Chains A and B, each alone.
Chain A
Amino acid sequence: MDNSAPDSLPRSETAVTYDSPYPLYAMSFSSSTHRIAVGSFLEDYNNRIDILSFDSDSMSLKPLPSLSFEHPYPPTKLMFSPPSLRRSSGGDLLASSGDFLRLWEVNEDSSSAEPVSVLNNSKTSEFCAPLTSFDWNDVEPKRLGTCSIDTTCTIWDVERSVVETQLIAHDKEVHDIAIFDLRDKEHSTIIYESPQPDTPLLRLAWNKQDLRCMATILMDSNKVVILDIRSPTMPVAELERHQGSVNAIAWAPQSCKHICSGGDDAQALIWELPTMAGPNGIDPLSVYSAGSEINQLQWSASLPDWIGIAFANKMQLLRV
């Protein structure tokens, strides 16, 4: 289907771009307002987190400089709190991971971003193992899990700022964590081991619409592996159409069958998972070519028509 009708707008005009003075990595969409947080990626102590405001009427992304704040070294992940956890003052709660897990309040009246707390999971000293990622529990938003290079994962109660549990189930550094249900804290099953030994799994994503499904990406691999927790070790599907390694994945917020992936080939692919895969594997539904390698991808429930990507110094919102 050729979409170029003679008077249609050129592709690039449908995407909304924000040019940042520095490369970006971490990105998160607010669940309540049209705010987006982006974290810089500078190999330096001084990094920043900027807050942008997306105006869908004027199709523009504007930074809110008063809400920008500093962060030591690049934040490994940013995430706004789930919609059910609103601050009494009405502002957004933003969490960032890096040396510690820090919580920031981004005020609605856009006057400033205030640090709320710094969570340190070391019982004895001021120093704690740096965090590679974290995830906020949608169902019980006061719970947040972090994972770190010291092979542990920690579940926090953010309202009381204390540790609930520590999970030590990995033999090596933990790269990513995704929380669904914390009732079964005692169990941990090896769900999937990468086929080549010593190939770490770098990122995970639960399908929020179909909680038995999750997706993961491996180091140096152009495949997106889809798993079903009911049949561990056997992937449901392997999506292999990227021309370079995959860097980020995001499930569609309102569909259990759609997922988007972005990679080093500068392409963002939207896939639809069929019930039966064809003999040649699964082809994506559609593709977007960015200017350079896509490092981050977010598809938020608050803006289901838009996918956010980060590449080089830019953050773009693509219309689905």
Chain B
Amino acid sequence: MDESSIIQVWKVIGAEEKEIQGLLKAVVQSVGWTYSLFWQLCPQRRKLVWSSGFYNGAIKTRKTTQPAEVTAEEAALERTQQLMELYQTLFSGESSMEARACTALSPEDLTDTEWFYVLCFTYSFEPPSGMPGKAYARRKHVWISGANEVDSKIFSRAISAKTMVCIPVLDGVLELGTTNKVKESEEFVEHIKSFFHNHPKSNTKPALFEHSINEEHEEVEEEEMTMSEEIRLGSPDDDDVSNQNLISDFHIEATNSLDTHMDMMNLMEEGGKYSQTVSTLLMSQPTSLLSDSVSTSSYVQSSFVSWRVENVKEHQQYQRVEKASSSSSQWMLKHIILRVPFLHDNTKNKKLPREELNHVVAERRRREKLNERFITLRSLVPFVTKMDKVSILGDTIQYVNHLCKRIHELESTHHEPAHKRMRIGKGRTWEEVEVSIIESDVLLEMRCVYRDGLLLDILQVLKVLGIETTAVHTVVNDHDFEAEIRAKVRGKKPTIAEVKIAIHQIISQNKL
């Protein structure tokens, strides 16, 4: 979701929202606590989501657009607003990063409590889980003092705030927190509640707003949740943020949030202190986070269901039926590719203009000539190891160089021209078979002991292999047989090994 729609939604909230925020501000300032939040119940999903908040705590770096003279109130409001903007930029995608104003906050400008405040935006609770959830379900306030020491099962957000109170008011839960340790007090709770007694219970907000606010939260929360899980698992290894395994471990359905994760992770690394804070934050409540994330992921209703191996079994039946009607496989795709283009032909000349056809044929012939020449070259050069065009050219170059050197040597030393190579050890059977297949052209060279009918046998076995002989050149002297056979492959292309084996078999036949 792009940032502009988030901002639009927030702007449109209007008077009612401002009222709540005003109340929050009043409440927190009256007791001098650090922050106040309002968790609102979203009836569709039956969860409490962040609705409004006010930050009243310590600020690290002040960044403001206004001149120095500004009241404390306005400054505080502005701070809250800036924290909200920071959150939006962090969680709504990379593109908005560059668009941030120079006065916008960056993670290093925040104190720990401010950072905690920002992270609160992302939480949601399904009553009665979580502290706000419990308060809502029981319709009674929940007070925790010494929050940072509390067992994670009870309080899922370990923070630097020491005291936290959740009070059910209106249609949600008000949460207050402070960095001081404050003892539980009924008067305090009543005092807070009094602020809200005069406020009319907010009825049905226009469905659109609710839906869009929550939708933003849904998506973002899911991203946040899954990202948080990654950080949790990543922190033992730390520094090197390699999410690959982590992501594949969780069957996350929002695959588009991957990039956002990366950015979030990078940001975390930059604000090293914050990644630590977040890590400790998350380390301390593995179980509740997981339950949060499971419930959140059903929040963003994906149309897809995660894959189970049973799916394969379920469809066995389907498959058998399908196989029978394989003629209808890919029906539309085949039609589009193979039939539809020819439909057009019916309305026009069936033949392509001769020129174009010639052009295509000429090109094809050129390629065939190239292949043929390559094979010829290959036959001229001994010692060719591989059969691909590049190797053939390389070996040819080497061979030509070698020949040049040899000529040079011979001319300079005037050696007797070498006699025809003596066939050493006639008794020893020596045979050589070289096969080369490039596309559909075949070249077979062989040397072996001659016997009657050898050539015929060879041609026959080639035919069996699906090779159609086109040219034969043989040299027979004494008892030696040398042949160079060119052919074309018809049908299934045999491997070079197959051909060699077959030829060797022929040669060794009748040898007794």
**Do A and B belong to a common assembly?**
yes
- Verify A41–B336 contact, CB threshold 8 A: yes
B149 on interface, CB distance cutoff 8 Å:
no
Q: How far is the CB of B367 from chain A (nearest CB, A)?
A: 9
Which of A127-135, A155-163, A179-187 contacts the other chain?
A: A127-135
- Verify B311–A7 contact, CB threshold 8 A: no
- Verify B208–A57 contact, CB threshold 8 A: yes
A320 on interface, CB distance cutoff 8 Å:
yes
Q: How far is the CB of B116 from chain A (nearest CB, A)?
A: 28
- Verify A320–B255 contact, CB threshold 8 A: yes
One digit per residue, 1 when the CB lies within 8 angstroms of any chain B CB and 0 when it does not, for chain A 240-270 equals 0101111110001011001000001100111
A residues 297-320 touching B (CB-CB < 8 Å): 304-305, 318-320
- Verify B348–A127 contact, CB threshold 8 A: yes
Given contacts A265-B315, A287-B311, contact A244 B300 (CB under 8 A): no
Which of A60-68, A83-91, A107-115, A118-126 contacts the other chain?
A: A118-126
Which of B117-125, B130-138, B325-333, B450-458 contacts the other chain?
A: B325-333
- Verify B332–A41 contact, CB threshold 8 A: yes
B253 on interface, CB distance cutoff 8 Å:
yes
Q: Within the assembled complex, what's the spacing in Å between the Cα atoms of A122 and B344?
A: 15
Q: Within the assembled complex, what's the spacing in Å between the Cα atoms of A252 and B304?
A: 15
Other-chain residue from B330, B343, B349 in contact with A247 (beta carbon distance below 8 A): B330
Which of B52-60, B353-361, B500-508 contacts the other chain?
A: B353-361
Given contacts A127-B348, A304-B256, contact A270 B329 (CB under 8 A): no
A295 on interface, CB distance cutoff 8 Å:
yes
Look across to chain B and name the residue whose beta carbon is closest to the beta carbon of A203: B333
Given contacts A5-B295, A295-B332, contact A255 B255 (CB under 8 A): yes
Given contacts A3-B297, A25-B336, contact A254 B258 (CB under 8 A): yes
Q: Within the assembled complex, what's the spacing in Å between the Cα atoms of A287 and B493?
A: 39
Q: Which residues of A contact B194 (CB under 8 A)?
A: none
Q: Within the assembled complex, what's the spacing in Å between the Cα atoms of A168 and B360?
A: 7
Q: How many residues of A contact B (CB 8 A)?
A: 81
- Verify A286–B248 contact, CB threshold 8 A: no
Q: How far is the CB of B153 from chain A (nearest CB, A)?
A: 22
B residues 325-380 touching A (CB-CB < 8 Å): 326, 328-338, 340-345, 347-349, 352-353, 355-356, 359-360, 363-364
One digit per residue, 1 when the CB lies within 8 angstroms of any chain A CB and 0 when it does not, for chain B 279-321 equals 0000000000000001101101111111101011001001100
A residues 47-98 touching B (CB-CB < 8 Å): 57, 72-74, 76, 98
- Verify B301–A73 contact, CB threshold 8 A: no
A211 on interface, CB distance cutoff 8 Å:
no
Q: Which residues of A contact B352 (CB under 8 A)?
A: 122, 127, 129, 150
17 A–B contacts, CB within 8 A, in A order: A41-B336, A76-B341, A122-B356, A124-B353, A127-B352, A130-B342, A132-B336, A132-B337, A150-B356, A197-B493, A246-B330, A247-B333, A252-B256, A254-B255, A254-B258, A283-B309, A286-B302
Q: Within the assembled complex, what's the spacing in Å between the Cα atoms of A245 and B355?
A: 39
Q: Within the assembled complex, what's the spacing in Å between the Cα atoms of A293 and B329?
A: 9
Specify the main secondary structure of chain A where it touches its partner. Answer: loop
Q: Which residues of B contact A269 (CB under 8 A)?
A: 307
Look across to chain A and name the residue whose beta carbon is closest to the beta carbon of B354: A124
B residues 136-184 touching A (CB-CB < 8 Å): none
Look across to chain B and name the residue whose beta carbon is closest to the beta carbon of A148: B341
Given contacts A8-B298, A76-B341, A320-B253, contact A202 B304 (CB under 8 A): no
- Verify A245–B330 contact, CB threshold 8 A: yes
- Verify A76–B329 contact, CB threshold 8 A: no
B residues 28-63 touching A (CB-CB < 8 Å): 45-46
Given contacts A243-B319, A247-B332, A272-B248, contact A286 B337 (CB under 8 A): no
- Verify B307–A264 contact, CB threshold 8 A: no
B423 on interface, CB distance cutoff 8 Å:
no
Given contacts A150-B356, A286-B253, contact A318 B340 (CB under 8 A): no
Other-chain residue from A5, A14, A57, A255 in contact with B303 (beta carbon distance below 8 A): A14
Q: Within the assembled complex, what's the spacing in Å between the Cα atoms of A319 and B301?
A: 7
Q: Which residues of B contact A168 (CB under 8 A)?
A: 359-360, 363-364
Other-chain residue from B294, B305, B331 in contact with A286 (beta carbon distance below 8 A): B305
Q: How far is the CB of A210 from chain B (nearest CB, A)?
A: 13
- Verify B303–A288 contact, CB threshold 8 A: yes
Other-chain residue from A11, A151, A286 in contact with B251 (beta carbon distance below 8 A): A286
- Verify A72–B344 contact, CB threshold 8 A: yes
Q: Within the assembled complex, what's the spacing in Å between the Cα atoms of A74 and B14?
A: 50
| Besides the known contacts A26-B336, A127-B348, 12 further A-B residue pairs in the complex with CB atoms under 8 A apart | A1-B297, A3-B297, A3-B298, A41-B336, A122-B352, A132-B341, A254-B258, A265-B322, A286-B302, A287-B304, A319-B304, A320-B255
Q: How far is the CB of B252 from chain A (nearest CB, A)?
A: 8
